[in-house]
Structure 1
Amino acid sequence: MASALIEEAHDLSGGAGDPLVHLPDTATALVFRTRADGRGDLVVVGPRTRAAYFAGKDLAVCVRVRLRPGTARPLLGVPISALVDRTTPLAELWGGAAVRLERRLTRLDGDRRLILEQLETALDARMRGPAVRDGLVGAAAMALSARGRERLSDLAPRMGVSERHLRDLLTEDAGLTPKSFARIARLRDALAHGGRSSGLAQLAAATGYYDQSHMTAEFRSLMGVPPGAFFAGRLPALQRC
């Protein structure tokens, strides 16, 4: 989906029986799903600093849109630091506007294309008010998450702001510190390359860790299991979704 606000959209409908792994993620997302009683449920999933593991659940409709860096705070109207590692009903943030949107989406009878179009329209309308802070948050988040990640001490002068100001903007508007952005980006890089690596030592070197021990410690902290166990499918106990 090409949108100034939505970075990615995923259809997570169905999926009963398969473990659902939520990786650490720097982004904030909106999820629309239909509950067992047929009612729509629209929630905000804040940035995640730890992996979570759930038993698969058969959902007739479950659509997730990942917001572009720097857009979540003006869209949602709260500091994203308050949403980290939380799932929050959108109605708590938007009030009646969210309830009306849930009803509109529910009446679309599971048409994923129309659901995404309605979500994008609602987000666009919300952004006609406050503007993103000169694109600083989005640009900084992408720079800190990209391969060959910049240090904050180099990034801030290039963007014409102080380190402290940029750190405060990221923490409040994106919900995570610069260090957390770097940790999660490096972990996701390792996860993406894990199946193609010839060994854990080579994987650590290829993805920016000091050594294999450093990668193992980071994996345990963020994923709940060491890398060897994760890649072998030995996951932590599954929670109810």
Structure 2
Amino acid sequence: MGTLSRNKTVRPVAARRLGVLLGTLGLTAPLTLAIGGPAQAAPTCTTRTGPYQKEAEKFLGRPVDGQQSPADCKAIQDFQTSHRITPNIGFAGPVTWAAMQDEITRRDPNAAGKCPVNKGRIACVDLTRQISWIQDGRTVRFGPVPVRTGRAGYETRTGPKKIYWRAIDHWSTIYKVRMPYAQFFDGGQAFHAIDGSVWSPPGSHGCVNMRTGDARTYWSMLGNGDNVFVYGRKPGT
């Protein structure tokens, strides 16, 4: 028992003495000694070309040739790591491209130029992406924010509109629900806040449903006569 006890005591002391000696000599102790095991290697960068290679190259400012290169892979891998996409091996697949599209939307929701930029202040509604934002010319002033538009049979009507009537605490006599911060732009269709989730299916009865904070900001930034433009098609309609 005495010998075993001395061995347990001597080993860590010997390890510390080795560390001091290596430090004195300007060397570093093996990593296994420092942390008790081998280091975790970085994920291997793939040589495979993904289905969204060209899109990823363009997004990341790489030469766009549609062919994976070590530099392409490292750039894609860094993006995946920063967005917690796994496996982060630099493969330009659908999950990575979806995350890049989200970034594009946040940077410039009107990158495709589908909402008019010659109307001054305008509220844009993209039914396809289920988002809305307010812009002055080409400058986005607020958003994009998530919205819930009309379900099948009650589609939000597309095209140019104008806000013509507003009610900060409107009550729908048709559907018997509150419509806070309601701003009507086409018949009974309006921007307004809802109590539930804007992501809940199947959709509204034609209005552009918003989170309360977003609807409140729209109320403060828009007024009667301001332009609205609705385009695209809600998935499932």
TM-score clears 0.5: no
Instruction: Return the index of the structure with the highest Cα Rg.
Output: 2
The normalised TM-score by structure 2 is 0.22
Name the structure with the higher strand share.
2
Name the structure with the higher helix share.
1
The normalised TM-score by structure 1 is 0.22
Q: Which has the higher contact order (CA 8 A, sep 6+)?
A: 1
